[in-house]
Structure 1
Amino acid sequence: MRLICPVCGERDRREFYYVGDAVALDRPEPDAGDAAWDDYVHNRDNPAGVTRDLWQHEAGCTAWIVVTRNTVTHEVLETVLAKDVKGSGT
């Protein structure tokens, strides 16, 4: 898979570090209990289709980018700097 870094251009995905879902997770309160924290740390949705993920260009400019991609077709639909989508649900 190839990702387009908004700073460096098109690169192999091996230059990037996948962080996870770009939508903020609902972090439990510190005293929420073991079950809530276990769910938060270990369980994630595994959607088929279009997702928005947070990646870091670790082996390049170190920029944080939001990648919109289709997990079924592996098509990358959009890449934008995370700072440019801050406050819009990410």
Structure 2
Amino acid sequence: MQLIHCPWCGPREEVEFHYGGQAEVAYPDDPAALSDREWAEFVFYRDNPKGPFAERWSHATGCRKWFNAVRDTRTYEFLATYRVGDPVPAVVRRHQEVSA
């Protein structure tokens, strides 16, 4: 069982969490003005990189709060977790430099 570090509750088993998609995706300023194609692109089109990737997660059976995590999509390793609105932790930038 993998442990995921909740920024509020600390390390917990992965079964307590739910994936919420790509992090740092800005909601459209005027969603009603989007065409059907633009709306579909906003809802369904996301990055799919190999390596570190910023994601949204929810501690569904714990504090129920949303947070961001950077996970390596090659290994499933969580490199960092941080509260929404906080900057990406330095450990992630160092990992990206080493991987490049």
TM-score grouping bracket, smaller chain normalisation: 0.7 to 0.9
* Alpha-carbon spacing, 1:41–1:6, altered in 2? closer, same or farther (3 Å): closer
- Are the counterparts in 1 of residues 22 and 47 from structure 2 also a CA contact under 8 Å? no
Residue 83 (structure 2) aligns with: 81
Residue 32 (structure 1) aligns with: 34
2:51 aligned with 1:71: no
Higher helix share: 2
Per the TM alignment, residue 27 of structure 1 is displaced from its structure 2 partner at its CA by 2.4
Give distance in 2, aligned partners of 1:27 and 1:33: 12
Residue 46 (structure 1) aligns with: 48
Give distance in 2, aligned partners of 1:63 and 1:26: 19
Give distance in 1, aligned partners of 2:14 and 2:37: 34
User: Structure 1: which 5+ residue stretches go unaligned?
Assistant: none
What whole-Å deviation, never above 9, does each CA across 1:8-57 have from its counterpart, x for those lacking one? 22112221121111112352742221111121222222111101111111
- Higher mean alpha-carbon deviation, 5-14 vs 49-58, is at 5-14
Q: 1:79 is paired with a residue of what secondary structure?
A: strand
Root-mean-square deviation (CA, aligned residues, Å) is 2.1
Residue 15 (structure 2) aligns with: 14
- Are the counterparts in 2 of residues 28 and 37 from structure 1 also a CA contact under 8 Å? no
Q: 1:11 is paired with a residue of what secondary structure?
A: strand
Q: 2:19 is paired with a residue of what secondary structure?
A: strand
Q: 2:39 is paired with a residue of what secondary structure?
A: helix
Structure number with the bigger relative contact order (C-alpha 8 A, sep ≥ 6) is 1
TM-score, scaled to structure 1:
0.78
Amino acid in structure 2 at the alignment position of 1:12: E
Give distance in 2, aligned partners of 1:26 and 1:8: 28
Aligned residues: 86
Give distance in 1, aligned partners of 2:5 and 2:66: 12
